[in-house]
Structure 1
Amino acid sequence: MKHDQKSYTVEEALQKLMHFCAYRDRSQKEVEDKLNGMRMIPEAKEKIIISLMQDGFLNEERFARSFVRGKFRIKKWGRIKITQELKKREISRPVIKLGLSEINETEYRNTLYDLAEKKSEKINESNPFKKKKKLADHLLRKGYETSLVFDCVNEITG
């Protein structure tokens, strides 16, 4: 892969990053990675990041909230998987907590049960214990909490 060897002025880089952040919410790590790819010096990176934050293009809390909403509503991920992904993006614990507050508890449980029922219908397994295990494993991989998964699986498979 050939790297773009173009060098950017702070102003050009700032413009590029404004578009990058305006397209969708970004984490500070994504912006830093982009700036590293542009081979910006540390002083320039700092100046650009501060400017993006002051102008509202970069906001970790807003990023965390929209990330949580998207992964929960679209991909139907559980809190554990969402938290792990936010940690990978170097989002702090307090901001992750704020992001997770976007999930409504009733909606969360309903989503878990809907996922479980749909998956349960698709599992071709005559042994009830193996079926329960396959269903539980699927829900755990989606990032749902163990206690909720087992309650749900027991309720659905009776």
Structure 2
Amino acid sequence: MEKKSFTFEEIKQKLVNYCVYQDRCHTEVEQKMKEFLLINEAKEEILLYLMKENFLNEERYTRSYIRGKFYIKHWGRNKIKTNLKQKQVSEKLIKICLDEIFEDDYIKIIRKIYEDYFSRQSGLQEYQRKSKTIKYLMSRGFEYESILQVIND
């Protein structure tokens, strides 16, 4: 497929629009840049511009990612951390930004998912329903300790 050529300014504007549409991390922007034939100096210049003008802000991205995945998708901390690490967000930044999730909300979500999923398990012994539900919550990224805390309340 023939790559359409753009001027440096057009490419820069396309990447600004890409970041304005929704928060992005560095990895996503670098991935997007591969669509354009850019020399390394040009890539650097665009990245610096995006950061300087606050179109690209790793902390803002991480915070909004965490809020979305938890409050909308109901992912647990482990799944969120794993996915952010795949996007090359630093462990330190992830740790700082996890304060976006309030502990009370975390426990409430675990309780809600637990009750919903548990009640849908039929024709099984109590302990089977319980263990299936725990496995399900862990697959959504919730920590075993947090799940037990909810069950034993």
Identity of aligned residues (%): 39
Partner of 2:85: 87
1:71-125 CA-partner distances (Å, limit 9, x unpaired): 0000011100000010010001121112211111111111111111111111114
Partner of 1:33: 31
Helix, strand or coil: the match of 1:90?
A: coil
The structural deviation recorded for 1:13 is 1.0
1:141 aligns with 2:139: yes
Change (3 A) 1:75 1:119: same
Letter in 1 for 2:135: D
Q: How many residues align?
A: 153
Q: 1:10 is matched with which residue: 8, 11, 17?
A: 8
Q: Distance in 2 between matches of 1:17 and 1:41?
A: 15
Helix, strand or coil: the match of 1:37?
A: coil
Letter in 2 for 1:44: A
Which is further off, 93-102 or 132-141?
93-102
Report if aligned partners of 1:61, 1:99 keep a CA contact under 8 Å in 2.
yes
Q: Distance in 1 between matches of 2:28 and 2:102?
A: 27
Q: 1:76 is matched with which residue: 71, 74, 77?
A: 74
Q: CA RMSD in A?
A: 1.3
- Structure 2 unpaired stretches of 5+: none
Helix, strand or coil: the match of 1:6?
A: coil
The structural deviation recorded for 1:35 is 0.2
Q: Report the TM-score, using the length of structure 2 for normalisation.
A: 0.94
Runs of 4+ in 1 over 3 A off after TM superposition: none
Q: Report the TM-score, using the length of structure 1 for normalisation.
A: 0.91
Q: Distance in 2 between matches of 1:151 and 1:93?
A: 26
- Structure 1 unpaired stretches of 5+: none
Partner of 2:117: 119
Report if aligned partners of 1:76, 1:111 keep a CA contact under 8 Å in 2.
yes
Q: Distance in 1 between matches of 2:123 and 2:141?
A: 23
Q: Distance in 1 between matches of 2:132 and 2:91?
A: 31
